[in-house]
Structure 1
């Protein structure tokens, strides 16, 4: 469903407790008027669902393109259960937008598949500033909330899969 038809902050399904989970958040400094709001929503949602402050590491990178290496560093040098990448790319007059969006999308996907840890894509890719504001605490909620909920659910899924015996033993 298109985000213009729903509030991103709506919680769907049962949300597991984040009490025993550790999170890394990598935030882009570029467009910080938006990314700071994404971080606030993300952080508050983790705390709301039981995460402990000392189990949340926040690191900043210069721009959205650097989220990929920031997430990789987080995976390599910390013991977090999930990483949340928060950024914002707003369409400009050049193709720069396309290159950044494609690179970050592929990069985060690669970090996801290279490490045994969920890496959550919390990057806004909008046509204009108003669309970004609408998705960073505005009329469409906060993508940071959504990213936090996704991280909690993915850690719970991974824990569930690791704790189950093999279902099919042939």
Structure 2
């Protein structure tokens, strides 16, 4: 049971301890005003959780569909404890929204499963820009917390 004290890193007291963790962030530049805010909130939360600035690698890619390829390249390096996907897909008038949202989400999940590496998926999928802006800070922070917690959990298993 998660949180049970078995003398491991992922006890209730230490599951949010980012010290000693190496985290990679992949940020889509499309809808940059939102993704920049996601990245800023994410990095600030990682630092607050104890992750050292030197242990955070942050790269950017053109859009949400390119995020998974960069995550895969980072995962292949095998020196990350967790990865974070940041992006913003806003519904338009065509089916393109569904394609990008579904395919990017599936690809991010596949990379995590293939490499047994936690990936916090904070690629927002919203109906409009107002919804994206309303979520950008909280979801950036949430992604940092998920990455740290899951890295500690997997280390303890």
Give the TM-score taking structure 1 as reference length.
0.82
State the number of aligned residues: 145
Q: Distance in 2 between matches of 1:19 and 1:57?
A: 15
Describe the SS at the equivalent of 1:157: helix
- Asked if 1 retains the 8 angstrom alpha-carbon contact of 2:16 and 2:145, the reply is no
Q: 1:143 aligns with which of 114, 136, 139?
A: 139
Which has the greater radius of gyration? Answer: 1
Matches within 5 A, 1:88-167: 88-137=88-137, 142-161=138-157
Describe the SS at the equivalent of 1:21: coil
Give the corresponding residue for 1:36.
36
**By how many angstroms is 1:120 displaced?**
1.3
Describe the SS at the equivalent of 1:135: helix
Give the corresponding residue for 2:18.
18
Give the corresponding residue for 2:77.
77
**By how many angstroms is 1:78 displaced?**
5.3
Question: Structure 1: which 5+ residue stretches go unaligned?
Answer: 1-12, 162-170
Q: Distance in 2 between matches of 1:77 and 1:112?
A: 14
After superposition, the C-alpha distances for 1:82-116 in whole angstroms (9 at most, x for unaligned) are 00000000000111000000101110111011002
Give the TM-score taking structure 2 as reference length.
0.89
Question: Structure 2: which 5+ residue stretches go unaligned?
Answer: 1-11
Q: Distance in 1 between matches of 2:106 and 2:120?
A: 13
